[in-house]
Amino acid sequence: MKGGDKMKKMFLISLFLIFSGIIFASECCSSKEKDIKKECNFCKIGNYIICPVMKEKFQVNEKSEKIEYKGKIYIFCCPKCKDKFEKEPEKYIKGN
């Protein structure tokens, strides 16, 4: 395998691992028990997840806004995003 092909393969594998982690993070934050305090490992303080409104990566912190919608916990990068989501949740979860 040539050096360029090897780099391309490593890049694609890295992308797959990164995006599969992000997808898994959004799926593992479901809450059947309706207990919003029960979180998966990806949603813990210090981890990076995608804001459902802005679709950008951010670091979860103690001030991160959270709500539960249809049995799934959503965490937002800021209060404005949470407010937007609460007004039109289906608009923001269509791509998930």
Query: Locate tokens 């309706």: which residue?
Result: 34
Q: Where are the alpha helices (DSSP H) in the chain?
A: 3-27, 79-87, 89-93
Query: Locate tokens 């993070």: which residue?
Result: 25
- Give 42-57 pLDDT, tens digit per residue: 678 888 899 999 999 9
Q: Report pLDDT for 73.
A: 87
Taking the domains of the chain in order of start, what are their residue ranges? 3-93
Hey, what amino acid is at 68? E
Tell me if the pTM is above 0.85: no
